[in-house]
Amino acid sequence: MSNFSGIELNQQLIAGTWRDGNSDRVAKTSNPYDDSVLAEIQQASAADVDETYEAAKKAQPAWAEMAPAKRSAIIYKAAELLEEKREEIVDLLIRESGSTRGKANLEVTLAANITRESASFPARMHGRISPSNFPGKENRVYRVAKGVVGVISPWNFPLHLSIRSVAPALALGNAVVLKAASDTPITGGLIPARIFEEAGVPAGVISNLSGAGSEIGDHFVTHPVPKLISFTGSTPVGRRVGELAINGGPMKNVSLELGGNAPLVVLADADVDKAAQDAAMGSFLHQGQICMAVNRVIVDGSIYDEFVEKFLDAVRAIPVGNPEEDKNVVGPIINDSQLDGLKKKIAQAKDEGATVALEGPINGRLVSPHVFTDVTRDMEIAREEIFGPLIGVMKANDEDHAIELANDPEFGLSAAVYSRDIDHASQVGLRIESGMVHINDLTVNDEAHVMFGGLKNSGLGRFNGDWAIEEFTDDRWIGVKRS
């Protein structure tokens, strides 16, 4: 396959034109399973960043002034195109991001869902009129588009995590410049840009750039045109983005969806079979390369041995291999840097005294599931985000201890609590410092109309539904004195 929807895979949509970037650098995007090259891309330069932002600034006012019904129809058309081109997109997700077929199909569904939800946003930009303490005056609060939004997306769910920002921003009248991760410039950048262009978004309103962070990353964030930078990625890089957005030039808003370290808490009265099955899937879906993936399983001591036995049985049944084969759940790690990091985490867990309960082979970038038991709160595997097919199981003395362990790390994105008493489990969930807690369900959850976001070092801001409307618009107070 050399193109997507008529566009060569090495192109970028820069200020309304599909072309090469102007950098001297050329980057390859390859299949992490077999290293076959999908495209060689002439990278974008700082001058390309300037051109796209200026074009976006020029095109945005007319887009924002378009009738809400017309803008809505264009966004809805984009959702239809995602479904129509599902097979083609799934194939590229498998080949570029190492997604298994099941995960790739899920990703297209998630992207289509948030796009359909976003199509309703133009009619939901509600302002209000408030009374005034001054006679003859009224206070009008308008909700308006921010202007131009810069979006930086990651490689793990490249399509969805680009569109999760792009679709709402466009629907609400903003122009968007998208910079996808270097590992996934096609599925994270080219495909979203082409989908919205083909749906009818005017030239200049949507652009995508493929460029090295060392060459254009800081300039992308500090440029004076964008009013908001929406970033999804690691906490260290997110901190840098936030600092640059505030201190690197004209101050701008940031929306940061960052790292996680999701605990799955199994209380004494839990359905152990269900908890074990869900923990296995939540830990190893997409090789554990998900910010919401189960990072730690915390089990009440009274059922610890029973849980470990059933959990290991569930993990052993997870198929590993070529992501193009429908049966496989675990595919390749995205790149050699991530692979080396995982090997170091495995070695460190052993050195720190964790028990190796299950250790599958590592063949190339295929890392079979690794399970460690007797994990304690001071071990790196418990403290830090793993982002790979490794999991630690921790024993809790009681419920309070389980909550204490769940709250230990600096992250607070997603969590799960398993118990037969749903109301009590919900109260436990409220005691866990996490933006999202799921009762008797996976930590990996995302619904287009329900808020998504974390606490602590897992980020700032919220995605989806009404929360996205607030993120991608500004409130403007117009005070009217009639006499």
Task: Quote the CA–CA distance of 191 and 471 in Å, as a whole number.
Answer: 24
Residue identified by tokens 């799921």 is 438
C-alpha–C-alpha distance, residues 196 and 173, integer Å: 13
Please, which residues bridge with residue 477 across strands? 141
Neighbours of 172 (CB within 10 A): 26
Strand 37-42 and strand 26-30: pairing? antiparallel
Backbone phi and psi for residue 196, each to the nearest 5 degrees, phi listed first: -75, -35
Q: Which phi and psi angles does 272 have, rounded to 5°?
A: -65, -40
What is the secondary structure of 301-324 as a DSSP string? Answer: GGGHHHHHHHHHHHHHT--BS-TT
Which of the residues 257, 324, 385, 471 is marked catalytic?
Answer: 257
Structure-block tokens of residue 66: 């378009």
Pairing assessment for the beta strands 459-460 and 253-257 based on DSSP bridges: antiparallel
Convert 325-392 into a string of H (helix), E (strand) and C (coil): CCCCCECECCCHHHHHHHHHHHHHHHHCCCEEEEECCEECCEECCEEEECCCCCCHHHHCCCCCCEEE
| 257 tagged catalytic | yes
Name the residue among 109, 117, 189 with its Cα closest to residue 153.
189
Q: What's the CA gap between 146 and 472, in Å, rounded? A: 6
CB 202 within 8 A of CB 170: no
Cα distance between residue 457 and residue 236, in whole Å: 9
Three-state secondary-structure class, residue 461: coil
User: Alpha carbon 397 to chain centroid distance?
Assistant: 34
Does residue 150 contact residue 208 with C-beta atoms inside 8 Å?
no
Q: What is the chain's alpha carbon radius of gyration, rounded to the nearest angstrom?
A: 23
| Partner residues linked to 142 by β-bridges | 476
Which residues, other chains included, contact 412 with Cβ-Cβ below 8 Å and sequence gap of 6+? 432, 433, 434, 435, 454, 455, 456, 457, 458
- Helices (H) then strands (E): counts for the chain: 16, 26
DSSP assignment letter at 285? G
Residue tagged 């570029």 (tokens): 96
304-316 helix and 272-284 helix, angle to the nearest 10 degrees: 50
Distances (CA, A) of 348 to 205, 219, 272, 341: 48, 37, 29, 11
Which residue(s) pair with 131 in the sheet? Answer: 138
What are the catalytic residues? 257
